[in-house]
Amino acid sequence: MTKGTIVVDHLVKTYKDKFTAVNDVSFTVGKGECFAFLGPNGAGKSTTVKVLTTLSRLTSGSVTISGIDVDEDPEKVRWEIGVVLQDTGLDSNLTARELLELQGRIFHLSGKEASFRAEELLAVVGLTEEADRTSKKFSGGMKRRLDLAMTLVHRPGILFLDEPTTGLDPLNRKSIWKEIRRLNREEGTTVFLTTQYLEEADELADQIQIISGGKIVAGGTPAELKQSIGKDVISMQFVSETEAKKAREVLNKRDVFLIENDIRVTEEKASAALPVILRELQEFGLEPAALSVAEPTLDDVFIQVTGSSEGAS
């Protein structure tokens, strides 16, 4: 058995209405890696995660978690993984300590072991002083930290985090990042992360796969993905979305993307292309309110391979 690994081989998931949500998806996550799975809504991201975490049966292909086939032995897989979903499933009338102790008993710890593990995890996620408060009195960030602690009770080798920082303020988001990084780097936990924040994937992930239309459209390390564009990115902001759309039409022979009232153009040499682009726009009475030139970001990769600005900033 290869502990801490995820192997997805030609995964297909088709629903009863014959809609294929995931179509021939393959990837491997090595032990101790932090893997980010990105894609716009409806791309097949959530469906893939449901199959990997035994919440949905696959149609064809195979998935193994720590060497265990998810279709043949889902119960055994559940002992290998921890799952943090977008919506917390906390009983709001129980205290943080009670919730953690209950989780320990569910995973067959003795009363003493469950109590010790609860104290340990309260310290890990910085909730020791809040241990005897009911979770309904917790802030969103505190609930996320408690949810993470609940998932760690049985010491899973693989942690699935489904948009763990959505809705959190920047301070709480950084706090969750710190704990994910600690689990991954210090304890060797394999992390499977879905996120709508591309900077989060850039910050945490060793490997990224992007899914769109049910298929993998790009993959690699963050650096490799950004290098794959191999061009400078010219960003131009217009006073309205109407102006931006008109600018996109003027520049439609170039590699151009629209995000609300912003235009992004990728060019081999921005210094040479920029004066020409500005002249082309001026001929139609268009002038950007602001512009910048930068190296590609994951936002630019995401937009280019999915054709969607969802998740890009």
DSSP 8-state secondary structure symbol assigned to residue 134: B
Non-local (6+) Cβ contacts of 50 within 8 A are: 56
pLDDT at res. 309: 61
Name residue, tokens 């490997």: 207
274 vs 246: CA distance, rounded Å: 18
The tally of CA atoms less than 13 A away on the side-chain side of residue 224 is 9
Q: What one-character DSSP code corresponds to residue 89?
A: -
Q: From first to last of the 313 residues of the chain, give the pLDDT tens digit.
A: 588 899 999 999 999 888 999 999 999 999 999 999 999 988 999 999 999 999 999 999 999 999 999 999 999 999 999 998 877 678 889 999 999 999 999 999 999 999 999 999 999 888 999 999 998 999 888 888 898 899 999 999 999 999 888 888 888 888 889 889 999 999 999 999 999 889 999 999 999 999 999 999 999 999 999 888 878 899 999 999 999 999 999 999 998 988 889 999 988 888 899 999 999 999 999 999 999 998 888 988 998 899 876 655 4
pTM: 0.81
Q: Cβ contacts of residue 162 below 8 Å, gap of 6+?
A: 46, 49, 83, 84, 85, 86, 194
